[in-house]
Chains A and B, each alone.
Chain A
Amino acid sequence: NAGVTQTPKFQVLKTGQSMTLQCAQDMNHEYMSWYRQDPGMGLRLIHYSVGAGITDQGEVPNGYNVSRSTTEDFPLRLLSAAPSQTSVYFCASTGDRGVTGELFFGEGSRLTVL
């Protein structure tokens, strides 16, 4: 059972480049989200989605775009990478739209922006 799959696991970008982090889940979860994790700051919510066609901003959305065309996929796009976006990115999903239950995380994508 794959669960939540993120690709790539590692990526190095130059300032100004764009890229997409992929996230797919096979649990038919309606709720999906993207977090970034930085030392000493915990996980911070970037964007989330409560179903196909519906997305909303989290607490640190600037510089990132998302879309949700299918239940399974929730890609995160970096429009013009900056060194401040160097971080570990986690995608997470849950079957509970109210988010009162367990979040299932992908293994993370480590991004370095030079």
Chain B
Amino acid sequence: RKEVEQDPGPFNVPEGATVAFNCTYSNSASQSFFWYRQDCRKEPKLLMSVYSSGNEDGRFTAQLNRASQYISLLIRDSKLSDSATYLCVAPRFDTGRRALTFGSGTRLQVQP
């Protein structure tokens, strides 16, 4: 099983829609998680951190469900500018390695 798994999409939604992505992780010891946003042919950039039960920032809400080992990202009132790939990220713990593990990403396309 991959350490971090995401539905690759694409999710095609109209402007103004609410869309949610889920991400599952395999290491139950993980304490902190992240959502990164990556625009086409650009570098990933941090969107949100998720440390406890969840985090909200404007139209974006990230939630953590430790019992089921998944993280979700909810985007309300979608904008055309939200079109991007969203990467779910968790820390690695194998052999003391300090690194982040990235999911393959979920592509969102917001349509006018």
Contacts and interface: CB of A to CB of B under 8 A. Distances in A.
B46 A102 contact: yes
B102 A43 contact: yes
Given A50-B98, A58-B97, A42 B103 contact: yes
B8 interface: yes
Interface in A87-114: 90, 97-103, 105-108
Interface string B44-58: 111001000000000
A82 B97 CA distance: 27
B108 interface: no
- Interface size class of chain A, counting residues whose CB lies under 8 Å from the partner chain: 20 to 34
Given A100-B32, A106-B43, A107-B43, A43 B87 contact: yes
A40 B44 contact: no
A8 to B, nearest CB: 15
A56 interface: yes
B8, B43, B44, B45: residue with the most chain A Cβ atoms closer than 10 Å: B43
B104 A40 contact: yes
A33 B46 contact: no
Interface residues of B, number: 23
A31 interface: yes
Contacts of B8: 40
Contacts of B97: 48, 56, 58
A99 B99 contact: yes
Contacts of A2: none
A90 B98 contact: no
Contacts of B1: none
A12 interface: no
11 contacts: A41-B104, A42-B87, A42-B104, A45-B101, A48-B99, A90-B44, A99-B99, A103-B44, A103-B46, A105-B45, A108-B43
